[in-house]
Amino acid sequence: MESTSRLRVGTLVPLAKDKAVSSNGSVSSIPIFEGSNVVGRHHLVAVDKRISRKHLSLHASADGSIEVVVEGPNPIIVRSDGQRRKVCAQEKAKITKNDVLELIPGDYFVKYMGMEDENKISAPVESSELKKGKRHIEEDCAAVKRTRQIIEDEALARTLQESFVEESVNVADMACGQTLSPLNSAGPSKRSNERMHSAGPLTFRLMRVQGLPSWANASTVTVQDIIQGEVLLAVLSDYMVDIDWLLTACPSLRKVPHVLVIHGEDGASLELLKKMKPADWVLHKPPLPISFGTHHSKAMLLVYPHGIRVVVHTANMIHVDWNNKSQGLWMQDFPWKDTKDINKKVPFENDLVEYLSALKWPEFRVNLPVVGDVSINAAFFRKFDYSSSMVRLIGSVPGYHTGNNIKKWGHMKLRTVLEECMFEKQFCKSSLIYQFSSLGSLDEKWMNEFAYSLSAGKSDDGTPLGIGKPLIVWPTAEDVRCSIEGYAAGSCIPSPQKNVEKDFLRKYWTKWKADHVGRCVLPFLYGAIWHVSQENFLELIGFALRRAMPHIKTFTRYNGQNIAWFLLTSSNLSKAAWGALQKNNTQLMIRSYEDKIAPGEKIRTKLVTLCWKGDEEKERSTEIVRLPVPYQIPPQPYGPEDVPWSWDRRYTKKDVYGSVWPR
């Protein structure tokens, strides 16, 4: 990990409000390294929007002194030498060892403690505060050492599964196609046109996670991989947007001449977004006609000299989502239409333009070198040739939808699309999987309504597939506790007990297990433990526990390792996201904007998991696409000791950072 190669100068240790060293988990222990450091919302155990995503910048010198700059809009308090000083936005302050910061005045106390040994600490050793603080630092140093040992033992774990890894890497590449190169911007060429037309039809990938071993990040992508090359126009759609992080993570965006950001921010977060954005960027929050709705869609439209890149993904535009979570995306490149084909339309194009029209962004004009002066509205996106697409875009748009519009959005649109698809006979009565990161307030009536939509479709002999048994893949409290973020990961799985612990849901719960893609416990290690030395036991278990909690949302129908269809979406399992039928099934009510990628009517490929062991020789007439499904299929039911995660429940067993989870 990067931080282990920098010189550690100290730690910001959480304190209780009485300034006693605390392990109540409100703030994580924050290691400070020589050079630049950032303190922000991701260091909190529970989300508090008063703390900005980039709340403080800290520049630490080799002598241990730190210059603090307040980056967020809210002030902090610095306690030094008996004085209490308020430091406001963009102001600077110097802190030294034993100074105390209040990240919000009166709340989130942290004490800066150096790395000296006991003899060099100026306060008396008998002080219980310093004893606890020193022990906290020693434990933190031990954690760094354990991390280093885990990295060293990675080679051993990799050897134990070498044959599997080779297969995973190869099939992931096969599944994703070759669409990550930027669209050629040097002028027309045979090579660029071939690339534009030969892009893989099912380009699904997982996103890279910091701290995972290299094999687990094979064929994954980062935001820099997606936004590259000569982008003429970018439309970025998301719920949360951290402009400062985005421009740091993807500096090429600064060179894009026209950027439209469609977002769901409000209040102080919106004011910060307006303040931080480049002057020529356009912001738009779509109208929300029904209370408790959000703009939750996550997508990118990147226009290049030779076409467009369409991306549907699951991550907010913030650091933790693109670095610490299990996330996914679908992506495909499409060329500009030939003049003779300008009026030709395909279903994906209609899906996209209808959805973009519903967003109602303020139209603006730009001059593009390819087409000259044009208006950027929904109709502009009809200028591209989507005929190579084999997927459909399923949008959710807030409103009360009736008549023909009832089938245009949400789960009713998915039902309509699936009814047009033909599937193999093996998928009759086969199970459904719902995997997501937030659970709405549901009832059995709606669950049956939803299952009916997702069970639509016919087998190749024309008979209906029939209703599938739903299974919910959801992390347990133990999964969250042992994740790479500890309990802090639970703040992005924001479902309360009243939603999670309904009796009728118990029959649906199955485990989040992703050993084959390195995002969860690796159970194969336990069988291999007996063949390694005892001293490696703890390191191997530590390696196995480096888990990335899911923020990805996927829904699928499967039989064994065969997949009928696979849907990637921004939608969680809620009526607000998918819609609920009303008035004797004549009206569909949706609260939020969402986007989803689903199969098209003509499925010409065989979808399988990475663990599929079929005979490809017997399947020569069909293209086999192996999808990096981010959880085990079939999923394992919860055991009697498993408790589904809910973020307002109290957990007293300490996580990997020594914190507990407060209610």
The verdict on whether omega for the bond into residue 31 sits within 30 degrees of 0, i.e. cis, is no
Distance CA(152)–CA(173), nearest Å, equals 27
For the sheet with 587-590, list strands across it.
399-402, 587-590, 580-582
Q: Which of 263, 296, 313, 401 is catalytic?
A: 296
CB 32 within 8 A of CB 64: no
Rg (CA), the chain: 26
* Amino acid present at 434: Y
Task: Flag whether 111 is marked binding.
Answer: no
Q: In b/e form, how buried is each residue of 172-209, taking b as 16+ CB within 10 angstroms?
A: beebbbebbebbbeeeeeeebeebbeebbbbbbbbbbb
Q: For residue 170, how many other CB atoms are within 10 A of its CB?
A: 14
Task: Flag whether 596 is marked binding.
Answer: no
Q: What is the DSSP string of 523-569?
A: THHHHHGGGS-GGGHHHHHHHHT-B--B---EEEEEETTEEEEEEEE
Distance CA(654)–CA(486), nearest Å, equals 9
Q: For residue 9, how many other CB atoms are within 10 A of its CB?
A: 22
Secondary structure class of 107 (helix, strand, coil):
strand
Phi, psi of 325, deg, nearest 5: -115, 155
Q: Which pair of structure tokens corresponds to residue 46? A: 């529970």
Count of helices and strands (H, E) across the chain: 15, 33
Q: CA separation (Å) from 100 to 58, 97, 113, 146?
A: 14, 9, 9, 28
516 is annotated as an active-site residue: no
- Calculate the CA dihedral of residues 66, 70, 72, 76 and round it to 10 degrees: 100
Q: Is 516 exposed, middle or buried (0-12, 13-18, 19+ CB in 10 A)?
A: buried
DSSP state of 457: -
CB 51 within 8 A of CB 41: yes
313 is annotated as an active-site residue: no
Binding residues, as ranges, are: 298, 553
The catalytic residues are 296, 551
User: Residues marked as binding for substrate?
Assistant: 298, 553
